Amino acid sequence: MLKNMTKKQKKMLLRISIALVAYGIALAAPLPKLVQTILFLCIYIYISYDILKKAVTNIGHGQVFDENFLMAVASLGALALGEYSESCAVVLFYQIGEWFQSYAVNRSRQSIADLMDICPDYACIEVNGTIEQVDPEEVSVGDIIVIQPGEKIPLDGIVTKGTTILDTSALTGESIPRQVTVGDEVISGCINQSGVVYAQVTKEFEDSTVSKILEMVENASDRKSKSEDFITKFARFYTPIVVFSALALAVIPSLVTGNWGQWIYRALTFLVISCPCALVISVPLSFFGGIGAASRRGILVKGSNYLEALSQVTRIVFDKTGTLTKGNFKVTQIHVEKGTQDELLELVAKIESFSNHPISKSIKEMYGKSIDTSDVDNVQEIAGHGICATVGAVTYYVGNTKLMTRIGRKVDETACGLGTVIYVCSDNEYLGYIEIADEIKENAKQAIHNLKASGIQKTIMLTGDSRHVAEAVAKKLDMDEVHAQLLPTDKVDCVETLLKKGSEKEKLAFVGDGINDAPVLTRSDVGIAMGALGSDAAIEAADIVLMDDDPASIATAIRISHKTLKIVHQNIVFSIAVKVLVLILGALGLTGMWAAVFADVGVAFLAILNAMRCMNVNGL
Amino acid sequence: MKKTYKIEVDCANCAAKIEDAIGKMETVNKARVNFMTQKMTLDVDGDIDQIVKEVEKVGKKVDSDFEVYA
């Protein structure tokens, strides 16, 4: 425990201990009254000199509502009233409270830093046959880095030599190791487990995944939630109100009753609890813990405000491809009207080789041979429709039914199964179609169930795919609503309409894979990007980033947000209630200063401990 | 220009008050004082090294324990 403390904290702890022991002696030992008083005075000076000093400097700067100043007034006032023992106790408890606060915050800061211990210390580059260790920041794009087993991958890159197994758990929270070989992408922050690999750097350190993630987590607590804003505002009014009430309490009843000593004592009790610090710290500490807990599960939350919004989400909109399905298209059927299957496949592969849509990739994969594109010209990609291009002298159209309708060609829609169908036609004839099917992720159904169990009322699916594919997938997953055949811009409109339907309190989240859906991610209340490891656009546009592509993480994130917000609300209600109660009791003279400060520090203590529970993710 | 500094600030309420005070300075467009991470982000026009010294002074007026590690 000691080694986790800063020097300042250790010193303070020693000071508090000495003062506590001395205080105990002064109370318990049979000392003559005068000696006891002197001892109390010594303890008072010993434990409160820094408060008094700060009070003087801060009041010099016009900080009337400074907690040190108020504490000094309260304790000196008590001394003046002859309450020596009480005055010491007040300052002593106050110092204990402050110390604990700083210790707790420091601890949670450290444990979050440990959790985010993904930052590489060095990078190894090969220079003239020898391996040199350099600062990752000095490595530039195109350099070849060498990663030994057990080392962290310092920068994002592509493997040029070697095969190994990577432990991505620090980034994704996922324990299954990932195998990489020549041509595969490696992401900074992963740990190389088995073999030596050489990789060509693709991004500078400051743009690498590790830097992006660290920056995001660090800045997360800058985006304040509504609860934090409420607390900050509350704090701004709380202190002045308590101070003025104290003044009123000291003067008005005294003028009426003439009993100055009694009412001044009660007023000083007010000052003792005028600091709102416990409240002000316990709320951001909870969010900090919640965000830290989430990042341990591979869920990066960009700000406290998003964690708060997530807890109010009642409707979740999913993009289908890559989110609920694997985005791993396979050609399942080739139907030809004319010619052979191979001819059709070759033609489509040629044309599709100009697109980087997942569908094109799978067609190229199916074709498997090298593609000669020398006779392809005038390639035009029509978003959400398909591609048209000229091969030789003929113009071909390759795309979905919408493209076919657009060029005025009728196709047979009923013949196909549940995949996406790519129709092929030339200027004057229909050539056939290729069916490509995507697989539903294994745990997608469970994920949707879990979401329902954690209070999500409605799950909605958006897709550019045809209606019958969309409906089949939605039915399998038990989703409530489907919107199919949407262009990227339609998705934005669709989300806008859904947003208008809900009330302010019912937030809407959108889950996408970050490809083509940045506008929707931005537009929704909470934008969640999935499988975003290494995708800059997604990390940029989303509010919450899921490092792995497991849809079950969404439910985990929601549970973390619920837990965090519950703790935040508990803390706010509990702290304010106790403060108000103590104020009332103090005004009625039912509690002394000693008890007031004890209650105040106790509340802070409990609120902070409660807030630290947010960091625990076990069972979520 | 935007820059982040490591700072020392003792309590959450002080951090909020310091953020307020710094934000009101004419040379500072935007300031964030984060108690949890003990970091301060300044967005300023002009010579940031000069401005951060003034910022520290203003911060110290609110709470004398405020410290900026430039």
Could you tell me if A397 and A478 lie in one domain?
no
Q: Which two three-digit tokens encode residue A439?
A: 């697989």
Could you tell me if A358 and A411 lie in one domain?
yes
In a domain, A600, yes or no: no
How many angstroms away from the CA of B47 is the closest CA of chain A?
24
A496: Cβ–Cβ under 8 A, 6 or more apart, which residues?
A523
CA distance A62 to A150: 57
State the alpha helices, DSSP H only, in A478-545: 488-501, 518-523, 536-541
CA distance A180 to A159: 8
Predicted confidence (pLDDT) at residue A232 exceeds the cutoff of 70: yes
User: Which residue, chain included where needed, has tokens 């909870």?
Assistant: A286
CA distance A116 to A189: 10
DSSP state of A378: E
Q: Which residues pair with A460 in a beta bridge?
A: A317, A481
On whether the CB atoms of residues A48 and A15 are closer than 8 A, the answer is: no
Q: How many residues does chain A have?
A: 620
On whether the CB atoms of residues B66 and B53 are closer than 8 A, the answer is: no
Q: Residue A393 belongs to what domain range?
A: 330-437
Q: Which of A344-358, A512-526, B9-23 has the lowest mean pLDDT?
A: A344-358
CA distance A333 to A434: 6
CA distance A219 to A288: 11
Inspect the interface and report whether the beta carbons of B11 and A288 lie closer than 8 Å. no
Chain B residues in contact with A99 (beta carbon < 8 A): none
Could you tell me if A413 and A320 lie in one domain?
no
pLDDT of residue A92: 92
Chain A residues in contact with B12 (beta carbon < 8 A): 277, 280-281, 284
Predicted confidence (pLDDT) at residue A163 exceeds the cutoff of 80: yes
In a domain, A138, yes or no: yes
Could you tell me if A317 and A374 lie in one domain?
no
Could you tell me if A538 and A406 lie in one domain?
no
The phi-psi region of residue A589 (left if phi > 0; otherwise alpha if psi is between -120 and 50; otherwise beta) is: left
CA distance A491 to A473: 18
Inspect the interface and report whether the beta carbons of A102 and B10 lie closer than 8 Å. yes
On whether the CB atoms of residues A216 and A547 are closer than 8 A, the answer is: no
Three-state secondary structure call for residue A607: helix
Average pLDDT over residues A201-230: 82
Planar angle of CA A62, A72, A239, nearest 5 degrees? 60
Encoded amino acid at A207, one letter: D
Q: Give residues 98 to 137 of A whose Cβ lies within 8 Å of B.
A: 98, 101-102, 105, 109
Tens-place pLDDT, residues B8-43 = 887 778 888 899 899 999 999 989 888 877 889 899
How many angstroms away from the CA of A221 is the closest CA of chain B?
7
Chains A and B form CB pairs within 8 A to the count of 55
CATH number of the domain enclosing A368: 3.40.1110.10
User: Which residue from A minimizes the CA distance to B21?
Assistant: A63
Inspect the interface and report whether the beta carbons of A222 and B32 lie closer than 8 Å. yes
Q: Which two three-digit tokens encode residue B50?
A: 């000069």
In a domain, A193, yes or no: yes
Residues of A with a known catalytic role: 319
In a domain, A394, yes or no: yes
State the alpha helices, DSSP H only, in A399-465: 401-406, 444-453
On whether the CB atoms of residues A272 and A90 are closer than 8 A, the answer is: yes
Final residue of a domain: which of A202, A218, A234?
A218
A12: Cβ–Cβ under 8 A, 6 or more apart, which residues?
A95, A99
Final residue of a domain: which of A199, A218, A237?
A218
Inspect the interface and report whether the beta carbons of B12 and A280 lie closer than 8 Å. yes
Three-state secondary structure call for residue A563: helix
In a domain, A374, yes or no: yes
A154: Cβ–Cβ under 8 A, 6 or more apart, which residues?
A120, A122, A123, A124, A136, A139, A145, A147, A188, A205, A208, A210
Other beta carbons less than 10 A from residue B39's beta carbon: 18
Inspect the interface and report whether the beta carbons of B12 and A288 lie closer than 8 Å. no
Please compute, for residue A283, the number of CA atoms within 13 A of its CA located in the half-sphere on the CB side: 27
CATH number of the domain enclosing A311: 3.40.50.1000
Inspect the interface and report whether the beta carbons of B16 and A63 lie closer than 8 Å. no
Planar angle of CA B41, B43, B45, nearest 5 degrees? 150
Domains of chain B: 2-69 (3.30.70.100)
Nearest 10 degrees: Cα torsion A535, A537, A539, A543: -140
In a domain, A523, yes or no: yes
Could you tell me if A334 and A319 lie in one domain?
no
Q: Which residues pair with A434 in a beta bridge?
A: A334, A422
Strands A526-529 and A544-546: parallel
Could you tell me if A148 and A213 lie in one domain?
yes
On whether the CB atoms of residues A437 and A419 are closer than 8 A, the answer is: yes
Predicted confidence (pLDDT) at residue B50 exceeds the cutoff of 80: yes
Say how many domains are in chain A: 3
Could you tell me if A431 and A515 lie in one domain?
no
Chain B residues in contact with A61 (beta carbon < 8 A): 61-62
Measured over the CA atoms of residue A562, residue A563, residue A564 and residue A567, the dihedral's sign is: positive
Measured over the CA atoms of residue A484, residue A485, residue A491 and residue A494, the dihedral's sign is: negative
How many angstroms away from the CA of B46 is the closest CA of chain A?
24
Tens-place pLDDT, residues A81-98 = 988 998 999 999 989 988
CA distance A185 to A159: 6
Tens-place pLDDT, residues A548-590 = 878 888 999 999 999 999 999 999 999 889 989 999 998 898 8
pLDDT of residue A533: 65
Chain B residues in contact with A236 (beta carbon < 8 A): 16
What percent of chain A clears pLDDT 70, i.e. is strictly above it? 96
Predicted confidence (pLDDT) at residue A415 exceeds the cutoff of 70: no
Interface membership of A369 toward B (CB under 8 Å): no
pLDDT of residue A88: 93
In this complex, which of A109, A218, A235 lies closest to B13 when CB atoms are compared?
A: A235
Model confidence, pTM? 0.79
Inspect the interface and report whether the beta carbons of A277 and B11 lie closer than 8 Å. yes
Final residue of a domain: which of A218, A233, A252?
A218
In this complex, which of B37, B63, B64 lies closest to A109 when CB atoms are compared?
A: B37
- How sure is the predictor about A15, in pLDDT bands with cuts at 50, 70 and 90? very high
Q: Which two three-digit tokens encode residue A295?
A: 């990042």
How many angstroms away from the CA of B24 is the closest CA of chain A?
16
Nearest C-alpha neighbor of A115 from the set A351, A354, A284, A297: A297
Q: Which two three-digit tokens encode residue A462?
A: 């958006």
A539: Cβ–Cβ under 8 A, 6 or more apart, which residues?
A212, A216, A514, A529, A532, A545
DSSP state of A354: T
Strands A197-201 and A144-147: antiparallel
Interface membership of A600 toward B (CB under 8 Å): no
Could you tell me if A341 and A369 lie in one domain?
yes
* φ/ψ of residue B33, rounded to 5: -115, 115
User: Which residue from B minimizes the CA distance to A106?
Assistant: B36
How many angstroms away from the CA of A109 is the closest CA of chain B?
7
A229: Cβ–Cβ under 8 A, 6 or more apart, which residues?
none
Strands A481-483 and A458-462: parallel
pLDDT of residue A57: 86
- How sure is the predictor about A2, in pLDDT bands with cuts at 50, 70 and 90? low
* φ/ψ of residue A517, rounded to 5: -115, 20
In this complex, which of A61, A232, A285 lies closest to B16 when CB atoms are compared?
A: A232
Average pLDDT, chain B: 87
Average pLDDT over residues A163-170: 84
Inspect the interface and report whether the beta carbons of B11 and A66 lie closer than 8 Å. no
User: Which residue, chain included where needed, has tokens 């060509």?
Assistant: A200
Inspect the interface and report whether the beta carbons of A66 and B65 lie closer than 8 Å. no
* φ/ψ of residue A333, rounded to 5: -155, 135
Could you tell me if A416 and A346 lie in one domain?
yes
CA distance A118 to A120: 6
Could you tell me if A309 and A397 lie in one domain?
no
In a domain, A118, yes or no: no
- How sure is the predictor about A418, in pLDDT bands with cuts at 50, 70 and 90? low
The phi-psi region of residue A26 (left if phi > 0; otherwise alpha if psi is between -120 and 50; otherwise beta) is: alpha
Could you tell me if A449 and A463 lie in one domain?
yes
In a domain, A552, yes or no: yes
User: Which residue, chain included where needed, has tokens 């299954």?
Assistant: A176
In this complex, which of A57, A102, A280 lies closest to B64 when CB atoms are compared?
A: A57
Task: Quote the radius of gyration of chain B (alpha carbons, Å).
Answer: 10
CATH number of the domain enclosing A201: 2.70.150.10
Average pLDDT, chain A: 85
Inspect the interface and report whether the beta carbons of B36 and A235 lie closer than 8 Å. no
Interface membership of A9 toward B (CB under 8 Å): no
Chain A residues in contact with B32 (beta carbon < 8 A): 222
